[in-house]
Structure 1
Amino acid sequence: MQHKRSFILSLLIGFLFLPFLLKAQIAEFRDSVIQIQGITMTADSLRAVPGVSIMVKGQGRGTISNRSGIFSIVVLKGDTLSFTAIGFKHKNYRVPLDLKGNTFSMIQLMVEDTTYLPVTVIKPYPSKEEFERAFANMEIPDDAYEVARKNTNNAHLRALARYLPIDGREGVNMFLNKQAQSIYYAGQPPPQNIFNPFAWAQFIQAWKRGDFKKKDDATF
């Protein structure tokens, strides 16, 4: 009986002090959150370094510095920030545990990294005739205009529209259009397209394209 009373008494004391414990934990967590605002610059000329990736190690989250090298990120005291950028050495910064307040400003200096490429030897053609032959048979890649012209070719677009299946958006739009059409003519007979000149024009164009012939071949 005495053991039961002591157990109940400990539970009551725990319930009484539970709000204070939660409040203390919340206050401790709130004090450990740091808003870091900083700038990434070169170590030699103090120029802003844009596009620097700032990641919090072990957490899979981070940010990128803007065109002026400015960044902002929320971390916890004791976290380690990883700074990486193309052409610069990798840098790590550990947030001190004894920071005061919830905001911190920093300047991260990035040291340029020299990358040595393998040696490339450029040799001339053995003769002028061989150079002219290679230059005449050279395949020139398509420019943006030629790529756009090929992508908007009517025959190419018709082939894609004929053989590619519809995606989810087209299927939903087709279903909604049919549903709206059925609701529009609810309670009255639908119009007869045999007297519609636009329907006849679409039928003639489909006949010329061979749409009906393709359907007949598919049935066999």
Structure 2
Amino acid sequence: MSKLEDKPINQYADEKQRTFIFFHWLIGTFSNWLIPFFLLIGSFAFAQDKDLIQFSGIVVEADSLIPVPFTRIIIKNSNRGTFADFYGYFSFVAKKKDTILFSATGYRKARYVIPDSLSGSKYSLIQVLSFDTILIKETVIYPWPSVEEFKKVFLTNAIPDDDLERAKKNLAQEEMKEKFETIAMDGSMNYKAHMQQQYSRLYWAGQYPPNNLLNPFAWAQFIKAWRDGKLKVQTPNEKKTKEQEDK
């Protein structure tokens, strides 16, 4: 009876021993692989940290060396980078052998490759940008909020006169006459008119001034105009027609 009872205990002890041996083998096997693995990762991370540098500098114009504000600075083939401040200064973390791209509106793009022979963890640069001519598409801003409003205003509003039409209206004879009648003369014109009257008074001083009522040539011209019908009262349309014929 004791032998039968000892058999399950021995089997239990054997299973426990086998489990212990398996775990001991598993730990030894993984330790042989894990230690080199972690050492490799650590050396790789150390090598990466060794390649990192603090990249700083100033972006200036090629002609005047004036800082170029808000220049876009990025690392090629990546989304990492920064913008220069108002004074053209920039600073960010980069790696050796990285290609840095510089771009700003109105300037040609430039690039710079960080050397791989740097011994320190900091590197400074003065980047020069040259001017470039950029043609921007024309943008027309209208006061109307939509195309429909523009069509409505365009079809209903009166088209203003152009320069030629305004010049024609300003030189119209009827309007010129009205302006001459209503616009007062300035100081120089009044002075000339007064001096002309004085000159005429001095010219005919001591004698009678001429009177066309006693002039036979004036009477001949009057009779001829009367016969030709030039003395009749003309309407404005007839006056315009007559003026056009005279031209």
TM-score (norm 2): 0.43
Q: Which has the higher contact order (CA 8 A, sep 6+)?
A: 1
Larger Cα-atom Rg: 2
> What's the TM-score, normalizing by structure 1?
0.48
